[in-house]
Amino acid sequence: MFAMASRLRTLLLFFAALGGICCLESRADIGYAQAASIARAANPGRVLVSLRFRQMTQGAKYASDCVDLACTTLYGLDIDAETGAILGGENNEVPPDEEHGLRDVIDRRSFIELGFGAALDVARAATGAPDSTVRRCSLISQSYMIAYEVRYTDRSRLLVDAITGLVVPNADAAASQNSIATDEYLDALARATAIAAEYSGAQWLPFSGQTAVTPDGIAIGVVFLDRAFGQVLQVDMLGKNAQAFDFPPAGTLFARVQAIRARLPQIVVTAPQFLERIESSYPGCAVSAIDLQVRSRNGSVRTRWSASLRTALGEQLEFSIDATVPAQLALGIATVQRPTRPGDFNHDGHVTSSDLAELLTTIGSQYPPHDLNQDGWVTQQDLAILLGNWG
């Protein structure tokens, strides 16, 4: 009995010790989000570009790097992973091979919507891997895109778009059947512009274009606005066939047209110039849509040309530039393409009651933006398509 009790006490002590070890290994960790906040607070006016987790013999720590806006110095900081205490830091010159990429990040910093913590939330949801498997998270620039590069202990990596919060797909997964080469798009734009010039005496400005796959080939539609009166003209082309239809804009389109007309004195980039900039930025790419957009943000107005494109490497991107700066000088911004849903007239990523209200105002009329099945009229069939994409 005594020997059994002794063995029992030994086992209990063993499991207690094991439990203590486990507790040490799974101790509280401030996490990447808090480490990022500490690094930023210690480096005001600088851009946080990297966070690394390191397990040292004396304990675990986060190592951060911030860069100054002149892109000359990296300010390193070590943070205790358990307490958040600053352990020290070291400043180094920006390596020459990293300078270009860091300058791209600094130039595009005002567009960033996600912080390090939010980017890791996206990565966790996409992979199912806990933050404990993340070795490093860095803010990088790649092909005019600004993204968080998340590297894991198994050497895999994931890119999270810092603007949209979407996971950057592998190039092999990106595909688009309705993209055409930029020179083809330029030819189609020139043809549509010639048709518009003959349609009436209005001063038509192309502000939107989109392609669509049909049984007979790729159709191309170009939308123009009348600079003087705000009327809209849509030119649809398929092969040698073409048709034009003008109409007064309504709802979201009316607001968009008025915003563009108000910014016309500042707009210096034409649609052809934008397409030429796309080709110079992504040689050999294919384009499926272009748009001139005016949006207010943080009290300022941004007027930008945007395009949906597929790069020569198969990456599906949204690329945009400032329309008020000469095309070859404007800062380019690339993001992961957001999925589009038929019936999302205000382009907020969802089909909701506001989109339904817009469509109901044009039921029974010829209003191309709401003609989702492209039969020439807005009918119950278009309503059914919208409701089928609800949410």
Tokens representing 257 are 């047209």
Answer yes or no: are the C-beta atoms of 343 and 386 closer than 8 Å. yes
Tokens representing 109 are 């910093």
Tokens representing 225 are 């606005």
Q: What pLDDT sits at residue 375? A: 83
Q: What pLDDT sits at residue 313? A: 85
The pLDDT tens digits along the chain (391 residues) read 334 444 434 433 333 444 433 433 444 589 999 999 999 999 999 999 999 999 888 889 999 999 999 999 999 999 999 999 999 999 999 999 999 999 999 999 999 999 999 999 999 999 999 998 999 999 999 889 999 999 999 999 999 999 999 999 875 544 567 899 999 999 999 999 999 998 877 789 999 999 988 888 999 999 999 999 999 999 999 999 999 999 999 999 999 999 999 999 999 999 999 999 999 999 999 999 999 999 987 788 999 999 999 999 888 899 999 999 999 999 999 999 887 788 988 877 789 999 999 999 999 998 989 998 888 899 999 999 999 989 8
Contacts for 108 with CB less than 8 Å, ≥ 6 apart: 141, 146, 331, 333
Residue 158: closest CA among 124, 207, 208, 117: 124
238 CB burial (10 A radius; 0-12, 13-18, 19+): middle
d(CA 208, CA 48): 37
Long-range residue pairs from 362-368, CB within 8 A, at least 24 positions apart, any chain? 362/250, 366/245, 366/247, 367/247, 367/250, 368/221, 368/234, 368/245, 368/247
Domains of the chain and any CATH numbers: 31-168 (3.10.450.40), 180-337 (no CATH), 338-391 (1.10.1330.10)
Answer yes or no: are the C-beta atoms of 362 and 378 closer than 8 Å. yes
Q: What pLDDT sits at residue 69? A: 97
Residue 221: closest CA among 232, 235, 231: 235
Q: What pLDDT sits at residue 175? A: 54
Expressed in angstroms, the distance from the first to the final Cα of the chain is 69
Residue 215 CA: distances (Å) to CA of 36, 218, 267: 52, 8, 37
Contacts for 160 with CB less than 8 Å, ≥ 6 apart: 114, 119, 122, 123, 147, 148, 150, 166, 167, 168
Q: What pLDDT sits at residue 378? A: 93
